[in-house]
Structure 1
């Protein structure tokens, strides 16, 4: 089992830099995990975590960093359903898409309700001989895409591959989930539970967390378990609480 960071992410606004509103396009760090299927040593597995760049950029970066084409990816795993984790997910149409069951449930109900309300508004407008305005039409398209993506995402099993286990990190969202990689060192792909190296150094969680106290607990668990951490918006870092290895 091994892993490689494909693309280093960025926060749209980093509060630790004094930024209070977006100054850049946010995108998640994307990581490739290579292992074998559970119980099948001869069956390779390529898991792409959080393909946050736009499709063409994601394909280019994957090729630059690994030489792989999109059809070589067997699984896509989302740490959350945030749009910045999944911009390029449709590029990997041959892969199995996975997300934590808790995240899928938490996102799915309000998403379906929002789509239902807007679809009803559209039907009422059409009955009156009118159409949705541009903003409503754009939102309808976004909601339809999001629902289609979520429907395609399957609940992730506890173990994705040999040496690759899901690791719940609730707080940023109720279903935020990382991947724990077991090798010579223990590595945790954190998602936004640990946003950047600076958040790690300062012991900070994102202010946008759904549950701040739960996010702090997950942050502490991440530090406790891993030798290496892959933050949601930064490159891999050594756990500062661990001795050099």
Structure 2
């Protein structure tokens, strides 16, 4: 059985003058051994995530594994909704969350304590999470960022990149745009992903698709609906 995937919560790269909205992609992977959730999004996406799961007949309790690309708030809030699940995070990111970069203000208060209430497995190096679902280090944005590489039946090699590639700008310029590790480290990660992927699910942008010339484009829009109450 080859893995399949779909984006449950569509992220975007919108920001305010002195802040940003922090809406990240949350991706559901259907693997041989069950459902895998890639990141859990921020509180701003909490109700939308629950609705997206319910629309597919999935309860939070049906998610067996939650893979956390890194521990920033916009990717790792809502972990409490899946307290029953197995959480997978890199050992380096776990250590980083205890001693973050002095300019990194994006780690949620108490994230390690919250996760410690559940079963947490720590990753080092590269390996297999499920059949056709492989994990790999993707440092740069933070030192402990990780991504997943999916060997799909109909879409080729799909890399769910998280914030290793946050938006199209990084794929176009082939350079890391926001690093709490080192820009050069993040740039090498981006180049590796671009070389290997047929499709990329970024952290905050629609899916990117490789073209015959090797460049990546996006075909799906990223709607952002605001309702005034």
Equivalent in 113, 116, 123 of residue 148 of structure 1: 113
Residues 46 and 75 of structure 1 are in contact (CA less than 8 Å); yes or no, is this contact kept in structure 2?
yes
- Normalised by the length of structure 1, the TM-score is 0.73
Structure 1 position 221, deviation (Å): 0.2
CA RMSD of aligned residues (A): 2.2
* Alignment coverage as a number of residue pairs: 198
Residues 175 and 186 of structure 2 are in contact (CA less than 8 Å); yes or no, is this contact kept in structure 1?
no
- Structure 1 runs (4+) deviating above 6 angstroms are none
C-alpha distance 161-86 of structure 1, shift in aligned 2 (>3 A):
same
Equivalent in 73, 93, 96 of residue 86 of structure 2: 96
Structure 1 position 20, deviation (Å): 5.3
Greater C-alpha Rg: 1
- Normalised by the length of structure 2, the TM-score is 0.78
C-alpha distance 242-86 of structure 1, shift in aligned 2 (>3 A):
same
Structure 2 gap ranges (5+): 101-107, 217-229
Structure 1 position 195, deviation (Å): 0.8
Structure 1 position 12, deviation (Å): 5.5
Residues 227 and 242 of structure 1 are in contact (CA less than 8 Å); yes or no, is this contact kept in structure 2?
no
C-alpha distance 62-198 of structure 1, shift in aligned 2 (>3 A):
farther
Structure 1 gap ranges (5+): 14-18, 38-44, 112-141
Residues 6 and 61 of structure 1 are in contact (CA less than 8 Å); yes or no, is this contact kept in structure 2?
yes
State the distance in 2 between where 1:209 and 1:215 align: 9
- Per the alignment, residue 114 of structure 1 pairs with none
State the distance in 2 between where 1:205 and 1:81 align: 18
The answer to whether structure 1 residue 47 and structure 2 residue 36 are counterparts is yes
* Partner deviation per Cα, 1:140-174 (whole Å, 9 max, x = no partner): xx63x323134343214721111111021111111
Equivalent in 54, 57, 63 of residue 63 of structure 1: 54
Structure 1 position 213, deviation (Å): 0.3
State the distance in 1 between where 2:173 and 2:54 align: 34
State the distance in 2 between where 1:147 and 1:28 align: 20
- Per the alignment, residue 21 of structure 1 pairs with 18
Moved more, 212-221 or 66-75: 66-75
Q: Which has the higher helix share?
A: 1
Equivalent in 5, 27, 51 of residue 7 of structure 2: 5
State the distance in 1 between where 2:52 and 2:169 align: 25
- Per the alignment, residue 147 of structure 2 pairs with 178
- Per the alignment, residue 131 of structure 1 pairs with none
State the distance in 1 between where 2:148 and 2:199 align: 12
Structure 1 position 73, deviation (Å): 0.6
Residues 5 and 235 of structure 1 are in contact (CA less than 8 Å); yes or no, is this contact kept in structure 2?
no
